[in-house]
Chain A
């Protein structure tokens, strides 16, 4: 055990002084050594860092092929050494994998999760602590009427300031729900740490939209300001088979006496309805028969992220994808007046890209993580890249053939990934091809706990036999915002 710790420290030192790219930090494949033989597609990762003990972090991802836990538990990955080594723990009450999951620590170190439970698609909000031998316990259960009208993509955020509370953005597809369409909704609780917390449910989209796309993203500032971003659909182009809609940002606070969360603070200047339409009448992919497919092997779905400056709650950043000249394209814009007006031009534009994630560090450096389909010598590749404001070069964290391995299910890489800032560092997680080849990781070579042959760049099982390439979650930490790599 001591030898293992020494090895981990040595690896940390090596990765921290990676001289090739002059970037300090680390990338780590989170699959533990004892799972060296696994070939599951662990896509759609979520990452959380314990603010009380920042060396403690947890990651969720899809795990259909693992079948390791009991039939009623799904695993997550967790670390207690700052991300150098990760363990798997059977913790989420779902039948061996979840249909969606996000994880967040609260300021007091409680671990929360928002999941769609398998196999019945119930939305659960869970709470527990790390480490513990008991699974996370439900503090909110929402049962859909059937498998076609579920409450989709519960995306959980915890307030990190003294105001406390948790916020779960969710797309309520229950057609018979009391409030009817549109579907962008939020469950929130001001006392989520209590034994029996109170939850409030409310529609975020107050317009007569037809519906909203799956991601409903909250961003919480420590001063109590709550932002919510969503994509509201109000039209359809039957010729091009495209949805027509707006990217909207709502803003509000929780009343200090009644604890009621209201988004009434930000109204659109044109129609005076709650929620500012940042960009209007955009085009989004749609398939009458199925989910729209595909960039490489990755379905389009919808892409959305919002982040608020920890030093100034008026500064907000927004990323989304739409069909720009028929190409699925990511855009990032900013507001300096609490979402009232937005930069007319993009800060960043990335064609053929998806899975945006934004974060702002303590020096107000903005980080933008995304995955972009590129073509190199006729071969399609997925690049996972991190942009930082003030830097002229992006950090290519991973770059691998887009058609290897073959997709086991949708989504191939996930419908989202995550980026967080703590102090001057960016922390994130993405899912990617796990070939242990330095060419696939241009910024720095990851630390692998799972077995591999470093000479031949192939994975090895617990018995040393070759293991096929698969999709793994990769944790990364770019120290000092990666600023030292800036030209």
Chain B
């Protein structure tokens, strides 16, 4: 598991993008980041802690030139002119040529007019963007996958490539406790369907079956909105997709309840990259 993580770490260029000689302290810090990143479950188990937030997939990856060190109110801020963009959110539009502010925990590692590659997440936005630098680590989100999708995939029990054989709508949840003629009306009404899925390839985890029922969520409510890449509400009979599944032990069924749990086949290599840096899976709960 950690070999894949280490490979991605160096492939991404966590070291060779730096244009300066590394002090030993920074190398040790990066090694520490590597071990933290390659064991992400331990970090994400905490509620709202600063530690949990430190292991973040970047929403921005770009190269740029430092045009100013130190902000008007924050000495840890550097101003960077973006020269080339590997990744940025669609909502931002064209990032090349823009100047952005970056909040960094180590402003001393950057020199004015130096050119660097940055990994960052959004922090604030006004006339210009203010980003917060995150470690250049191995869980870099591959192209085409949102940060949420990457984390859902990494945390799933079974990831398969498969073809949809049939789709069966499920009745809305009933209020059986009170025997009412109507269900409790929620704003966030779930709309589940059961897919019969022909498994063509197992990418992560294991299943003994070639056809598995999968419960998917297709509600149009904001709670289930697809963000930027999810497709669960768009699956059709005959289509082949990648499914990141979780096991519902109560109903004994595989589930893809978030839109981003269903991804197009053309992202399979990106999904493999995410899985390469994911923790080792326990034996399949279905077995």
B150 contacts across to A, CB distance below 8 A? 71
Residue of A nearest to B129 (CB): A34
Given contacts A32-B125, A75-B122, 9 further A-B contacts (CB under 8 A): A32-B127, A35-B92, A43-B222, A64-B225, A67-B146, A71-B151, A173-B186, A236-B180, A465-B93
CB of A301 to closest CB in B, whole Å:
6
Q: Contacts A71-B56, A210-B180; is A121 near B94 (CB within 8 Å)?
A: no
B53 contacts chain A at the CB level, 8 A cutoff: yes
A175-B177 in contact (CB<8A): yes
A90 contacts across to B, CB distance below 8 A? 121-124
Provide a sorted-by-A list of 26 A–B residue pairs whose CB atoms are within 8 angstroms.
A33-B126, A33-B127, A37-B90, A67-B227, A68-B89, A70-B121, A71-B146, A71-B147, A87-B124, A88-B124, A90-B121, A97-B225, A97-B227, A100-B187, A138-B47, A147-B188, A150-B186, A171-B186, A175-B175, A176-B177, A238-B181, A290-B189, A291-B221, A301-B187, A462-B92, A463-B93
Interface string of B109-135 (1 = CB under 8 A from A): 000000000000111111111001010
B190 contacts chain A at the CB level, 8 A cutoff: yes
B89-A71 in contact (CB<8A): no
Query: Looking at chain A's contact residues, is the secondary structure mostly helix, strand, loop, or mixed?
Result: loop
B91 contacts across to A, CB distance below 8 A? 35, 37-40, 65-68
A85 contacts across to B, CB distance below 8 A? 126
Complex formed: what's the CA distance from A43 to B187 in Å?
A: 14
B39 contacts chain A at the CB level, 8 A cutoff: no
A409-B220 in contact (CB<8A): yes
Residue of A nearest to B120 (CB): A70
Complex formed: what's the CA distance from A213 to B183 in Å?
A: 12
B244 contacts chain A at the CB level, 8 A cutoff: no
B127 contacts across to A, CB distance below 8 A? 4, 32-34, 449
Contact among A39, A121, A181 with B223 in the assembled complex (CB-CB below 8 Å): A121
Query: Looking at chain B's contact residues, is the secondary structure mostly helix, strand, loop, or mixed?
Result: loop
A243-B182 in contact (CB<8A): yes
Q: Contacts A37-B92, A461-B93; is A118 near B221 (CB within 8 Å)?
A: no
CB of B163 to closest CB in A, whole Å:
26
CB of A364 to closest CB in B, whole Å:
33
Complex formed: what's the CA distance from A171 to B258 in Å?
A: 23
CB within 8 Å of B: which A370-419 residues? 407-411, 415
A69 contacts across to B, CB distance below 8 A? 59, 121-123
A426 contacts chain B at the CB level, 8 A cutoff: no
A424 contacts chain B at the CB level, 8 A cutoff: no
Complex formed: what's the CA distance from A234 to B88 in Å?
A: 51
CB of A461 to closest CB in B, whole Å:
4
Most chain B Cβ neighbours within 10 Å, of A70, A75, A171, A243: A70
Residues of B within 8 Å of A, CB-based: how many? 62
A133 contacts across to B, CB distance below 8 A? 103, 123
Complex formed: what's the CA distance from A238 to B182 in Å?
A: 9
CB of A316 to closest CB in B, whole Å:
26
B134 contacts across to A, CB distance below 8 A? 70
A485 contacts chain B at the CB level, 8 A cutoff: no
A214-B186 in contact (CB<8A): yes
B178 contacts chain A at the CB level, 8 A cutoff: yes
B228-A410 in contact (CB<8A): no
CB within 8 Å of A: which B38-66 residues? 47-48, 50, 52-53, 56-57, 59
Contact among A67, A121, A181 with B90 in the assembled complex (CB-CB below 8 Å): A67
Interface string of A58-85 (1 = CB under 8 A from B): 0000101111111111010000000001
A152 contacts chain B at the CB level, 8 A cutoff: yes
A291-B187 in contact (CB<8A): yes
A138 contacts across to B, CB distance below 8 A? 47-48
Contact among B59, B98, B124, B223 with A89 in the assembled complex (CB-CB below 8 Å): B124
A236-B181 in contact (CB<8A): yes
B182-A286 in contact (CB<8A): yes
A454 contacts across to B, CB distance below 8 A? none
B173 contacts chain A at the CB level, 8 A cutoff: yes
